[in-house]
Amino acid sequence: MNIHINGKAYPLTNAIHISVSSALTLYFIEPQQSTFAVALNGDFVGKTDYDTTMVKNGDSLDVLQPIQGG
């Protein structure tokens, strides 16, 4: 299956879905040391739901981090 994280495709073989927690390990080397928040297909996913929320083929994750703003 294919998922997208911040617009980039991540092909995953031998899986029909993975948890948000697992998907984050594809993106971050050390997720626990980063400040970020997650949306799945445009809907917010709270940190407490990372283990139980599944990412399926074609889904898109947005992983956002703080930046300067006006």
Partner 1 sequence: MSLNIYGQNLDSRLLIGSALYPSPQVMKQAILASGSQVVTLSLKRQNPAEKAGQQIWSYLQEVITEVNGHLLPNTAGCRSAKEAVTLAKMSREIFKTDWLKLEVIGDDYNLQPDPIELLHAAEQLINDGFKVLPYCTDDLVLCQRLYDLGCEVIMPWASPIGTGKGLMNPYNLETIRLRLPDATLILDAGIGKPSDACLAMEMGYDGVLLNSAVALADNPVLMAKAFGQALQAGEQGYVAGIMQQRQTAHPSTPTLDTPFWHQNN
Binding residues for partner 1 (CB under 8 A): 6-7, 27-29, 34-39, 42-44, 46-47, 62-70
Distance in Å, CB of 10 to partner 1, minimum? 13
- Beta pairing partners, 19: 54
Backbone phi, psi, residue 52, to 5°: -105, -10
Q: Tokens representing 51?
A: 């283990």
Contacts of 31 (CB under 8 A, 6+ apart): 21, 24, 25
- If the CB atoms of residues 13 and 43 are measured against partner 1, the closer one turns out to be 43
- Closest distance to partner 1 from the beta carbon of 14 (Å): 25
CB of 63 to partner 1, least distance (A): 7
